[in-house]
Amino acid sequence: MRVVLGPMEGVLDHLMRQILTEINDYDLCVTEFVRVVDQLLPDHVFHRLCPELLQGSQTVPGVPVHVQLLGQDPNWMAENAIKAAELGARGVDLNFGCPARLVNKSKGGAALLQHPALIHNIVKACRDAVPSNIPVTAKIRLGWENPDDCFEIVDAIQSAGANELTVHARTKQGGYKASEIKWEYITQIRERFSIPLIANGEIWSYKDGQRCIETTGVDSLMVCRGAFNIPNLGNIVKYNHQPMPWSEVVDLLIYYSQFEMKGDKGLYYPNRVKQWFSYLRQAYPEANELFREIRIFNNAAPIVEHIQHYRDRLHSSVNCTA
Ligand SMILES: Cc1cc2nc3c(=O)[nH]c(=O)nc-3n(C[C@H](O)[C@H](O)[C@H](O)COP(=O)(O)O)c2cc1C
């Protein structure tokens, strides 16, 4: 089984990729998107979103990282795919699933699901442009509104020569509603097409992963939001590990504070750690108490201090009961 740590714009940056690949056996990561409009982007844009390019396009623990491109112009997408490859990307992933209104208004992301011929042209332009040893992959939702549109979309992508396809089994209109997940469409896609697939959407546990594999017949899974709710979700899904205990999550929050962002104005850690709490609170009720303590602070030092005190209290209460 393969488990992929999927792309999450504004959430899953290189530091989180490093932390999550240190504690999980992920097979692949995908960057946040490089937004392509009507120009060849300079190197620093790629390096900012994917600093791993400077270390062989892999995280510090050695997990390959693919560069994600989002755009609607086949020629500019191809030019930037070439650039990603020249900078050392181990793969180029094309985003046809982003539901953000601004992106969709300019016909990018999920809006393209309404235009399979254009999707075909983008994938083909990129596949033709990038050396054949570098995979060009795509990620889609089932359609804009109607999940039955997925077959035409997959046909467009397969016939353009993409190497692999991730299917987030909801339409754009389905948003992120759990009730809108339709893994059975992935089953049908697998039966009708030969392109290798990665199944994505609503995998929060080992059981979910097993159910997804049984339903779809696809044994490559992608996890996204759940990977933030439970930091060792990759190993839970792959090896049936127990969820990481809360005390270890607290240690991880402190570990995270030791990373420094280049050019950071001191806001990176406070903002990101609060964002992480919004995920952790879904899985760890204990996170609420700690979040209440730290949410008023806008710089790293008092947040880390509070978390350290909290950890000391936690460890001493664990020792007392032991
Ligand atoms: C905050 C956030 C950012 C996302 N950014 C991207 C993105 O840049 N590219 C993409 O293809 N999908 C993106 N997605 C969709 C996820 O990759 C994934 O398909 C979706 O969350 C379903 O998987 P999950 O149920 O495991 O979270 C994003 C989702 C979230 C919640």
Q: Tell me, in angstroms, the distance from the centre of ligand 1 to residue 6's CA.
A: 7
Ligand 1 atom index nearest CA of 202 = 25
Average pLDDT over residues 154-171: 98
Ligand 1 pocket check for 135: Cβ under 6 Å: no
Q: Tell me, in angstroms, the distance from the centre of ligand 1 to residue 97's CA.
A: 8
190 shares its domain with 291: no
pLDDT tens sequence across 271-283: 999 999 999 999 9
Domain carrying residue 300? 246-321
293: domain CATH number?
A: 1.20.225.30
- Per cent of the chain over pLDDT 70 is 97
232: domain CATH number?
A: 3.20.20.70
Q: How confident is the model at residue 319 (pLDDT cuts 50, 70, 90)?
A: low
pLDDT at position 316, please? 83
Average pLDDT over residues 53-75: 97
107 shares its domain with 256: no
- Per cent of the chain over pLDDT 90 is 88
pLDDT tens sequence across 6-33: 999 999 999 999 999 999 999 999 999 9
pLDDT at 313 over 80: yes
Mean pLDDT of the chain: 94
9 shares its domain with 129: yes
**What is the 3-state secondary structure of the chain?**
CEEEECCCCCCCCHHHHHHHHHHCCCCEEEEEEEEECCCCCCHHHHHHHCHHHHHCCECCCCCEEEEEEEECCHHHHHHHHHHHHHCCCCCEEEEECCCCHHHHHCCCHHHHHHCHHHHHHHHHHHHHHCCCCCCEEEEEECCCCCHHHHHHHHHHHHHCCCCEEEEECCCCCCCCCHHHCCHHHHHHHHHHCCCCEEEECCCCCHHHHHHHHHHHCCCEEEECHHHHHCCCHHHHHHHCCCCCCHHHHHHHHHHHHCCCCCCCCCCHHHHHHHHHHHHHHHHCCCHHHHHHHHCCCCCHHHHHHHHHHHHHHHHHHHHHHC
pLDDT at 322 over 80: no
pLDDT tens sequence across 215-238: 999 999 999 999 999 999 999 999
pLDDT at 105 over 90: no
147 shares its domain with 173: yes
pLDDT at position 307, please? 95
pLDDT at position 262, please? 66
- Separation CA 14–CA 58 (nearest Å): 10
Q: Tell me, in angstroms, the distance from the centre of ligand 1 to residue 321's CA.
A: 41
Ligand 1 pocket check for 200: Cβ under 6 Å: yes
Pocket mutation for ligand 1, best pick of 9, 197, 278 (most atoms within 8 Å of C-beta): 9
From 38-52, 79-93, 153-167, 257-271, the region with the lowest mean pLDDT: 257-271
271 shares its domain with 307: yes
pLDDT at position 10, please? 93
235 shares its domain with 123: yes
90 shares its domain with 174: yes
287 shares its domain with 317: yes
Ligand 1 pocket check for 149: Cβ under 6 Å: no
pLDDT at position 110, please? 86
Ligand 1 pocket check for 168: Cβ under 6 Å: yes
Ligand 1 pocket check for 69: Cβ under 6 Å: no
pTM of the predicted model, to two decimals? Answer: 0.96
Overall domain count for the chain: 2
Of the residues 187, 210, 239, the one at which a domain ends: 239
Of the residues 200, 217, 239, the one at which a domain ends: 239
pLDDT at 321 over 60: no
pLDDT at position 99, please? 77
228 shares its domain with 254: no
151 shares its domain with 166: yes
pLDDT at 243 over 80: yes
Of the residues 239, 261, 277, the one at which a domain ends: 239
Ligand 1 pocket check for 140: Cβ under 6 Å: no
Q: Tell me, in angstroms, the distance from the centre of ligand 1 to residue 80's CA.
A: 22
Ligand 1 pocket check for 226: Cβ under 6 Å: yes
215 shares its domain with 131: yes
Q: Tell me, in angstroms, the distance from the centre of ligand 1 to residue 320's CA.
A: 42
28 shares its domain with 70: yes
Q: Residues with catalytic annotation?
A: 98
pLDDT at position 261, please? 66
pLDDT tens sequence across 251-310: 999 999 888 766 676 788 999 999 999 999 999 999 999 999 999 999 889 999 999 999
Ligand 1 atom index nearest CA of 226 = 26
